[in-house]
Amino acid sequence: MRLNHSLVGANAFEKHLINRKRKKAWGKRGVVMALMLTSMVDMFSMLVVFLLQTFSSSPEILVTKGIELPNSLTPAMVKEAPVIALSKDGNLYLDQVLIGSIKKTVNSPSKLMNKLSEIKKSWGKSHPETPFPGQINMQADREVTSTLVSQVMGILTGGQFEAIELAVIGGGR
């Protein structure tokens, strides 16, 4: 049997303090902390893949400032295309850039037609083997009259943008 020299000449209180210190030290040595990094890395990898698949499959378009889109019961997925916006204050925007007032553009569409032809030319340069699809997204404020919307749609079809998608808020009322 081995004698502990620290307890041999100590009084009762010192023995109590020494034993208490040993018990604390034993408790610290007895608990082994382990962090399983492999499973955490796997979990974060799956989370990143899920987020990439979720957000890359559905493109989103920015709603032009000051436009309240109408509600719809049958929304469709958004396709990537140029965005033309008709605001309630009477302005017309193409890809967030002010073109002018809607009424002036309907009466004299040359500025809008020039911008549309630039979009068409740049698409032709980047897709030389594919014919132009003529897709465009239209955002019209709920207060814009349907006659103005149809007049702008007439200008768009004249500029070979026949596939016009109207932007709405899905989910009904």
Mean pLDDT lowest for which of 7-21, 32-46, 54-68? 54-68
Give pLDDT tens digits for 46-79. Answer: 999 888 877 765 556 667 777 888 877 776 777 7
Q: Alpha carbon 75 to chain centroid distance?
A: 18
Mean pLDDT lowest for which of 34-38, 103-107, 161-165? 34-38
Cα gap 9→43, rounded to integer Å: 57
Cα gap 87→94, rounded to integer Å: 11
> Beta strand pairing status for 163-166 and 135-140?
parallel
Return phi, psi of residue 106, to 5°: -65, -40
**Confidence at residue 1, expressed as pLDDT on a 0 to 100 scale:** 45
Report which residue type is found at 159: G
Cα gap 87→152, rounded to integer Å: 13
Compute the average pLDDT of residues 9-16. Answer: 75
pTM beyond 0.75: no
Q: Alpha carbon 44 to chain centroid distance?
A: 20
Question: In the chain, helix, strand, coil percent, each to 5?
Answer: 45, 15, 40
Cα gap 163→82, rounded to integer Å: 11
Return phi, psi of residue 71, to 5°: -85, 155
**Confidence at residue 46, expressed as pLDDT on a 0 to 100 scale:** 92
Pair 133, 163: CB distance under 8 Å: yes
Distances (CA, A) of 66 to 98, 122, 142, 143: 13, 29, 11, 11
Which residues, other chains included, contact 77 with Cβ-Cβ below 8 Å and sequence gap of 6+?
A: 58
Q: How many residues does the structure list for the chain?
A: 173
**Confidence at residue 146, expressed as pLDDT on a 0 to 100 scale:** 87
Give pLDDT tens digits for 126-162. Answer: 888 888 888 888 888 888 888 888 898 888 888 788 8
Give pLDDT tens digits for 99-122. Answer: 888 889 888 888 988 888 888 888
